[in-house]
Amino acid sequence: INELASTINEGFSFVPNKFISNRLRFVAYIKSVIDEF
């Protein structure tokens, strides 16, 4: 189980960097849209 977790962590260590930044940008966009209402 620990080996699987470490492998998953290694797999997610480099992929979500772009995904997280995109998600943060998306959340900021949603907040700005909500603020206008």
Sequence spans of domains, the chain? 2-36
Structure tokens belonging to residue 37: 């209402």
Structure tokens belonging to residue 29: 């966009």
pLDDT, position 24: 81
pLDDT, position 2: 74
Burial of residue 25 (number of CB atoms within 10 Å: 0-12, 13-18, 19+): exposed
pLDDT, position 16: 57
Query: In this model, does residue 6 exceed pLDDT 70?
Result: yes
pLDDT, position 23: 80
Is the whole-model pTM more than 0.85?
no
**pLDDT band with cut points at 50, 70 and 90 for residue 1:** low
